Structure 1
C-alpha cells in the first residue's frame, strides 16, 4: 500500500485514511490505485466486521486532482476519458455495496468526489467544521463517484438536483438537517465516536447486517410484494443462525445483548 492511503485493521475494524493532507486529500491517480488494491482486500477479509473511512490533516477529501486533470487533458478524448472514469467504479461499487457497516468520519472539506465517497457510507459522522459541496458545475462537469445514485436516495430528488446544479457549499449543521450527516462531534472526538460505532458491530450478527443493507438498497427500486418476500426469506436466514438462538437465550435470561448501539454523550454534540 502506498502512503497516500493508510489502512489499519484491529479488533475487527478496518480504518482507511486518505493521506494527502498537503492537497486536502484530493484524489490523484496514485491514491485511486491504492484504493483499487485496498478495497477488494477488505471485502475479502471476513475478519473485518466494520470499516471507517476518514481523511488526514483536518480534511476528508477535496475531490479530484484538477492539476492532474489539466496535465492529462491534451492526451484525452471522449473514449479515453470515459474509460478513465470507469477505472474507479469497481472498487467504488464494492464500497457502496459492502455487506458490512461503512462509517465516514468527515472533518473539513468533502468536495466533489470526496462528497461522493462520504455518500457511500451507511453512517456519516462530521465535525462542526465539515463542509460538503458537489463542486462539479464550477468546472463544467457533472457529478461522479456514485453521487447520481446515492444523493437522491439520501436527500430526495429535488434537493439532490439543487445541490448538484448550484454547486453550493453545505455546512455541517445544514448537512445534518438534510440527512447527509447523522451526528456532529468535535473534531478531537470524531474518530473516537466512529471507532465506538464500528466496534459495536464486531459483535453484531453478520447475517442480519448483510440482509438489512441489501434489502434497504433494493427497496427504492422495488415493490411491496418483492420486499415482503425478501423480508420472509431473510428473516428465516437470520433465524437459522446460532447467533439468533443465543440472542434469544440472553434476552430470556436478562443478560446484556451482544450487540448494542453505543450511546451518544450530550457533550459530544
Structure 2
C-alpha cells in the first residue's frame, strides 16, 4: 500500500470559510490559521494536501513545473507563515510539480516588473533584497520538521530544498547554479553560504563559478541529499519518511530536534545573507543581462 494519500488535494467548498474576513480577530482567541483558507489562498503557487498532520506542499506554475519568478519568490514568505501558524500541521513535505523542481524562469513575470530594462535601485531593493533576506527563513522559521523532495532539475534557489531536515531527490534530478554563468551576476543570495557549508570552500567555488551540473548520484556522494529515489516513488518515499521518522515521535521531540538542527543555518544566514545580497545587487548595476536585446530570460542565456 502506498504511504502517500491517493485521493485528490483537499479544496474548500463554498460552505467552508472564506479566504478574507473583515471582522477583527478576537482578543480572547489565540491566533491560528486554517488549512481550508490558506490552501485556497495560495493555490496559484502551491498545491497542498494534508492527512494525519502531514502536509504536502508542491510549488507549481499553472499546474505544471514551477517557473521561478518574482511573485513566487514573495509568496513563499506569507504562505509558509500560514502553514506554520496552523497547529494541525505536524510535518511538511515540500516538493515541485511534474518532472522539474525549478527548471526555468518565468519571463513574463520578470518583464511585468521592469526587469528587462535597465537595473535600478528600486528593482534591487523592493523585489530582490527585501524578499531574499526573508525567503530562506520562511522555511527555517517553521517549528515542525520539513522533508525536501527534489523531483527533478533545479538551477536556482537551492535553499528551498537543501536547508530542510531530510532531503531526498529523484533519479532524474540535476543541480546547477544560474547566477554567475547564467545571469552573469554575483552568487550572493545565500548560495555562497549553503554550498560552502555542504561542499567545502574550494568545491563550492568551483561549482558556483564554472556552471558545473551535478546529477543525483553526485549529490548523494557529496552528502547534499540523503537518498536517491526512482522518480515515480519520490513522494511515496517522502510520505514514508514522514510517517516512520517523524510521526512516531512526541511533538515536543520533533519540534526541539528541528530547532536544534536548523539553528546553525539560522545563525549563518543572519550573518551572511544581507551582505551577500548587497554585493549581488550592487554588481547588477554594472551588468544586467535581462536588459540586453535577445536575452533568453527563461533559460538565462545571452543569444
TM over 0.5: same fold? yes
RMSD of aligned C-alpha atoms?
2.6
- Distance in 2 between residues matched to 1:180 and 1:126, nearest whole Å: 10
- Distance in 1 between residues matched to 2:196 and 2:87, nearest whole Å: 31
* Equivalent residue, structure 1, for 2:258: 213
The one of 36, 41, 47 aligned to 2:82 = 41
- Distance in 2 between residues matched to 1:145 and 1:9, nearest whole Å: 31
Q: Contact 2:60–2:67 (CA<8 Å) still a contact in 1?
A: no
- Distance in 2 between residues matched to 1:219 and 1:2, nearest whole Å: 32
Q: Contact 2:74–2:135 (CA<8 Å) still a contact in 1?
A: no
Q: Contact 2:71–2:109 (CA<8 Å) still a contact in 1?
A: no
Do residues 199 (structure 1) and 234 (structure 2) align? no
Q: Where do 1:133-144 residues align within 5 Å? A: 133-137=176-180, 138-143=182-187
* Equivalent residue, structure 2, for 1:154: 198
- Distance in 1 between residues matched to 2:149 and 2:265, nearest whole Å: 26
Q: 1:203 to 1:77 in 2, by over 3 A?
A: same
Q: Where do 1:1-269 residues align within 5 Å? A: 1-20=42-61, 24-62=65-103, 64-66=105-107, 68-70=109-111, 72-73=114-115, 74=117, 76-85=119-128, 86-113=130-157, 115-137=158-180, 138-143=182-187, 146-200=190-244, 201-218=246-263
Q: Contact 1:62–1:109 (CA<8 Å) still a contact in 2?
A: yes
* Equivalent residue, structure 1, for 2:273: none
Gaps of 5+ in 1: 223-269
- Distance in 1 between residues matched to 2:183 and 2:64, nearest whole Å: 18
- Distance in 2 between residues matched to 1:144 and 1:192, nearest whole Å: 34
Q: Contact 1:126–1:184 (CA<8 Å) still a contact in 2?
A: yes
Gaps of 5+ in 2: 1-41, 268-303
**Aligned-residue offset at 1:82:** 2.5
- Distance in 1 between residues matched to 2:213 and 2:68, nearest whole Å: 19
- Distance in 2 between residues matched to 1:2 and 1:77, nearest whole Å: 32
- Distance in 2 between residues matched to 1:144 and 1:2, nearest whole Å: 30
SS of 1:14's equivalent in the other structure is: strand
Deviations 1:116-147 (A, max 9, x none): 31122222111111011112112112336532
- Distance in 2 between residues matched to 1:87 and 1:219, nearest whole Å: 21
Q: 1:158 to 1:66 in 2, by over 3 A?
A: farther
- Distance in 2 between residues matched to 1:34 and 1:220, nearest whole Å: 21
SS of 2:234's equivalent in the other structure is: helix
SS of 2:164's equivalent in the other structure is: coil
Q: Give the alignment's TM-score, normalised by structure 1.
A: 0.72
Q: 1:159 to 1:189 in 2, by over 3 A?
A: same
- Distance in 1 between residues matched to 2:188 and 2:103, nearest whole Å: 14
